[in-house]
Structure 1
Amino acid sequence: METTAYTGSTRWHELVVNKIKFSEPFEWLAKGWRDMIDAARYSLTYGAVIVLISGLLTFVLFSTDSMFLLPFLVAGFFLVAPFLGIGLYQMSAHLEKGEPLKTCNALEAWKSNHTQISMITAGFFIMMQLWIALNYVLFSLLYEGLSPPLDNFFSNVFLSEKGRNFTIASIMVGFFFAWWAYMISVITVPILIDRKIDGFTAIRLSVKSVLQNMPAMMLWAFIIVVIVGLGLMTYFVGLLIALPWVGHASWHAYRSLVPSD
């Protein structure tokens, strides 16, 4: 894919992002749905691979008696989801230009700006590891063993006094990670695919897009959580559609928020 050189200033007050309407996220969803239908063969295959990987990870947790980590791994999914959609952004970019999708894949998207995308992706996975590690620490502070027994896991974690403390602490930590991850990543990977700029500039454009359009971007965050959350709640099967839909829509979010010039 041909990329566009970024020639603007990297000073915060000179980074330009568009002001959008509160209802604009629904337009992104409509455009994302059209892209998913137009690229159904490729998009749904992409979603199926994510479903398969999610199922395998769950099996590994079950096999290693680590199922107590599943809720936190699921929550961590939102931290790495921006990178997981890299191939979907590429598909939308091809559709936008009327280019064929035969050679469209995540590897092609990564190659467009591989150094910066690799560094940003590493950061996402480090955040996810920190999130899981913090929950390990919280468990160790509340329980004698690594985790409560699985046969009464729900009652111990969510209904007991110690469990309520754990749940509150986990939610607070999770909200902190999720909000910061959202701000720095909501359009960062699409920017890096489309433009030859550094990851730090892409992150700052993403953060500024959120701060200057807070109501609309909070709505977009809520929509993402609902759609992807429903996909996760269906034992990952719903991700077959949820992830491609949100991924394509995220490309249009980037196009709407960052001026083409």
Structure 2
Amino acid sequence: RGVRPDLGRSLLAWEPRLKNIAVFGAVLLVLEMIWGRASLVVFALTFDGMPDFKGSLLALLDPRNVEFIVAYTAVGAIFALWIFAVSVISMPMLMDRDTDAISAGLTSLRLVLAQPLVMGFWGLLITLLVAAAMLPWFLGLLVVAPVLGHASWHAYRAALAAPQERAAP
């Protein structure tokens, strides 16, 4: 775009869009709370009472609880896919354009529905990289998080670039 990089400006780039970013964060928080509640319901319908941590691990490893593992994983997958679909390009879009959080989320959802294989691969790649980055006591996130943020910006630009921007060399 012909703008010279500046550390100070980059650290405060979110400031003009704070309201919409906060609304989007609130939407994600509500979705996460519903996800937690749904997971708790699956757990409550399967077991009598709440086991402690050790009891939970033993219950998860017990082959008699296959139905619970399948249901719990399915609920988690549904919510993870839903949250990914509404957020995959929302934050870069909120930073780049003068748009509201709902429009950004719906645009992200439309992109995922239009390109399910590409977006599915992108989601899998993010999951694998973040999981690997968490193995060395989360220190890998110091490298992986900025790289994924930068890659997400380029993915957003490639997915929603204006036609004249795509044609430019």
Fold conserved between structures, TM > 0.5: yes
How much has 1:234 moved relative to structure 2? 3.3
Instruction: Report deviation, 1:216.
Output: 1.6
Distance 1:143 1:215, change over 3 A: closer
Query: Whole-Å Cα distance in 2 between the matches of residues 109 and 170 of structure 1?
Result: 39
Number of residue pairs matched by the alignment:
163
Ranges of 4+ aligned residues in structure 1 off by more than 4 Å: none
The alpha-carbon deviation at position 235 of structure 1 amounts to 3.2
Say which SS state the counterpart of residue 14 (structure 2) adopts. helix
Q: Which residue of 2 aligns with 1:230?
A: 132
Aligned partners of 1:250, 1:212: CA distance in 2, in Å? 17
Shift, 1:103, TM fit: 4.1
Q: 2:24 aligns with which of 101, 112, 120?
A: 120
Could you say which residue in structure 2 is the equivalent of 1:99? Answer: 5
* Counterpart pick for 1:172 among 74, 79, 84: 74
Higher relative contact order (CA 8 A, sep 6+): 1
How far residue 152 of structure 1 moved from its aligned partner, in angstroms, is 4.7
Query: What residue in structure 1 maps to residue 167 of structure 2?
Result: none
Contact 2:132 2:140 in 1 (8 A): yes
Q: Deviations over 1:169-188 (max 9, x none)?
A: 11111111111111111001
**Alpha-carbon distance change, 234 to 168 in structure 1, aligned in 2, over 3 angstroms:** farther
Please name the residue that 1:110 is paired with: 14
Q: Does 1:211 align with 2:117?
A: no
SS in structure 1 at match of 2:139? coil
Normalised by the size of structure 1, how large is the TM-score?
A: 0.57
Assess if the C-alpha contact under 8 Å between 1:158 and 1:167 holds in 2.
no
The whole-number CA distance in structure 2 between the counterparts of 1:170 and 1:245 is 31
3-state SS in 2 of match to 1:197: coil
Deviation readout 1:137-184 (Å, 9 max, x if unpaired) = 2222233332x233354331132423x222111111111111111111
Q: Deviations over 1:59-80 (max 9, x none)?
A: xxxxxxxxxxxxxxxxxxxxxx
Structure 2 length-normalised TM: 0.84
Deviation at 1:237, TM superposition (A): 2.3
Matched AA of 1:243: A
1:101-153 C-alpha deviation (Å, 9 max, x unpaired): 13432xx233222222211110111111111222222222233332x233354
**SS of alignment partner, residue 97 of structure 1:** coil
Offset at 1:258?
0.7
SS in 1 for 2:8: coil
Please give the residue correspondences for 1:162-201 in structure 2 after superposition, counting only pairs within 5 Å: 162=65, 164-201=66-103
Q: Which runs of 5+ in 2 are unaligned?
A: 165-169
Distance 1:161 1:234, change over 3 A: farther
Question: Contact 1:138–1:166 at 8 Å: present in 2 too?
Answer: yes
Q: Is the 8 A contact 1:188 1:202 kept in 2?
A: yes
